[in-house]
Chain A
């Protein structure tokens, strides 16, 4: 037990009204990958903020032992100085600066008060090689994908001679191949003796890389599991996270599938900025009543672009094609028309595109259907209150009331508010774009139940997801999309992770 590099003892941190952490203990060994898991709001990020000095010493109770001594960090700089680097969920890069400038931001290579650009450049090159990123140090961060940006963050951490690397949901917005690359990098770091703490919701990743797993629940340590001493299944982790048995992660559905309710024919669109680049090619999809249809694909396959261009031309340029609802050709050229026709689009980006964070749950719930709670443009506030209260209890939104600001809710509850909004607009067809991204297991189950209920009500559901198990668990049929084309259509019986990946790979070869 001598190889403990970090020990956090009886950490208690409270915010006005809530105890975010209560006597939390965390022990991390030198050179291991330690996973920190728990439902949203369990206190994972708070614990890491305590560790890195975001919450300075004195604002919490308990002790931090690092490298054999008690540490009291007043600022992030204090923790960085002894090699603790945290990479937050929201990347802290400046988009319009180059990779090199970002890596050495605040830590510039200076000689005689001037920046030594040659030295900066060569050092950056070395760092990029270490993380396996083949980009010029002069490339602007805005021009590279999220996966590569994540690697830049890690290169930045390496530049500060990191000993303990903390990653808060590093793969949340990465596709599978980028995620894999990142996880392999962590394994490589482990071989070099760098310790990592990784916060993640993706349990398959935990199983792949973690040496030890600490489970937090409601601000308390539940258990630390050692992956080398015993076989840790995902079920065991989930049971510890939620404190109950989850019999099935995907609730069963037995809904008779009816007539075609929604059909898109010959859908084409061009890129919004690069206007001569076609990004959607002759897409044909249909959804039947009571059916949940998935769209699988890698990041950048054009799934979100497809959904948004159908929903009121919210994306794209020179959009063409036909949309049919219940067999009738409908006009979806503006969002209003699309809503009136019976479409709803639940965005993948709830903070930027789904919610008005400064408004209450009440106001967000009715935003897409204000006329449904008003007479002659005057809002009937009693009726509005009934609507919002009703959805709050039906979708089990956990909040102090419907007057709480949407910005103060956890991810899962925010997602439920977005769903409330679209359910109240009473659509016939819902397009759900990554409906469970970044939300915990319990809330995911509830969202799946809502999807089932929608199907049972005879609605059509089109679901975009990057998590293949989720698509396989919830969909009746899955379209596979790649490079702006539908490359396969798989009924439930034929769909598997392998068949989906095979379809993507084959289509990729075809277009080379």
Chain B
């Protein structure tokens, strides 16, 4: 290779203080999540961290996290999707018709549902990308249209206000747990194995990343801090994994969620399509003049959102064991809030997968904690709204100050 090798530059180890200051956004988010968890652990007298409750947090929020992955890309691209709640209901109703009433093969029904989601995304994406109609308007329209369609399907084909129940085999992703291979008494063996294995793999990956960075003269945090930080995260993950394992094991939906998180984290950071979406959100004209088909990219972003919303739609319908006309109602706001709490910028170009996931978890823990404490929906909404504003305010304040 003829190019100058940057490896000849000296590596820079920055001080712990500088490192935290440079990454204040990520750490701030994580600290907020931990503080909220500890707060509810205290307020509920230790009920929150019980195996069953932790399992419930996963089961009840996985679909938010999954949709937040798609919404993050939409927001980074400089758009918004208000329709996802209705798409969830619509796909749930379609699944109900196909599986419950037509007794269709489950795999085929799943594929059709995902295609439905993709088609809805393509419908929105077409008007947004190729006719430059603001996404707010197009998806607001979609929100109404697909909610209406959901009502129509349920009212014309269902008995009463819902379609159900679903066959148990169709519910396996939403409510099932990973299989156990060896009997370890009260603890779920495969789950505990995975619980230990995942942090080890994560540690290995980030260690390799750090050493590559160091070789190329990129600033890295001190080694002791790096190890300490990873140990803390690993300990937390193993604790939570252990708790969940001692209930019924890791839920299938948790595995699905983790796989999707890994996939989208990789896609946003390391693939050309991810890079192009960030560039487009930051400056669409400049990106277009760099030879990137921004219209097609926008189109794909919405198709992706539609598919993820349909996955969530199947999970929600099968978890509740019935498709209802109100299924997924208002979910779009939780999903959008998760992205903004997670540091995404409303003007596009900025936001991280990890941030959106943490944002979704913050919302989830708030929901679960307040439910345990017996808060009614009204106060729950007020608190969630306040948290959203506070998170974005702190973000903006820090940015203007820095």
Contact = CB atoms under 8 A, between A and B. Distances in A.
Nearest to B284: A356
A357 B272 contact: no
Interface string A82-97: 0000000000000000
Contact of A386 (B3, B273, B290, B350): B3
A359 B270 contact: no
Interface stretch (A51-59, A362-370, A454-462): A362-370
Interface stretch (B35-43, B127-135, B176-184, B274-282): B274-282
Contact of A353 (B3, B9, B279, B286): B286
Interface string B189-226: 00000000000000000000000100010110000000
Interface in B359-402: 402
Contacts of A378: 270-272
Given A352-B283, A386-B3, A386-B6, A335 B289 contact: yes
Contacts of B5: 386
B349 A358 contact: yes
A401 B217 CA distance: 10
B285 interface: yes
A358 B272 contact: no
A368 B291 contact: yes
Contacts of A367: 275, 279, 286-287, 290, 292
B349 A359 contact: yes
B339 to A, nearest CB: 17
B7 to A, nearest CB: 9
A473 to B, nearest CB: 28
Contact of A363 (B4, B279, B402): B279
Interface stretch (A113-121, A194-202, A285-293, A387-395): A387-395
A325 B292 CA distance: 22
B215 to A, nearest CB: 8
A386 B290 CA distance: 20
B288 interface: yes
Select the residue from A336, A367, A371, A421 with max chain B CB neighbours within 10 A: A367
A289 B290 CA distance: 24
Contacts of B273: 377
A356 B283 contact: yes
Nearest to B285: A353
Contact of B289 (A16, A353, A359, A389): A353
B279 A356 contact: yes
**Chain A: number of interface residues, binned into ranges:** 35 or more
Given A335-B291, A353-B289, A378-B271, A387 B3 contact: yes
A382 interface: yes
Contacts of A339: 291
A246 interface: no
Nearest to B9: A389
A356 B349 CA distance: 9
A355 B276 CA distance: 13
Interface string A1-44: 00000000000000010000000000000000000000000000
Interface string A325-363: 000000000111011100001010000111111110001
Contacts of A393: 4
B22 to A, nearest CB: 10
Given A356-B349, A363-B275, A381 B4 contact: no
B285 A382 contact: no
B111 interface: no
B102 interface: no
B1 interface: yes
A363 B289 contact: no
Q: Which of B6, B276, B289 has the most CB of A within 10 A?
A: B289
A382 B287 contact: no
A379 B282 contact: no
A468 interface: no
A385 interface: yes
Given A367-B290, A385-B216, A355 B283 contact: yes
A35 B381 CA distance: 59
Contact of A359 (B3, B218, B278, B291): B278
Given A385-B216, A393-B4, A379 B283 contact: no
Interface string B285-312: 1111111110000000000000000000
A421 B282 contact: no
A363 B278 contact: yes
B293 A377 contact: no
Contacts of B349: 356, 358-359
Interface of B: 1, 3-6, 9, 212, 216, 218-219, 270-273, 275-276, 278-279, 282-283, 285-293, 349-350, 402
21 contacts: A335-B291, A338-B291, A352-B283, A355-B283, A356-B282, A358-B283, A359-B278, A359-B279, A367-B279, A370-B275, A377-B271, A377-B272, A377-B273, A378-B271, A378-B272, A379-B275, A382-B216, A386-B4, A387-B3, A389-B9, A390-B4
Please list the 3 inter-chain residue pairs (A to B) with the smallest Cβ-Cβ separation, ordered nearest first. Answer: A356-B282, A368-B290, A389-B6
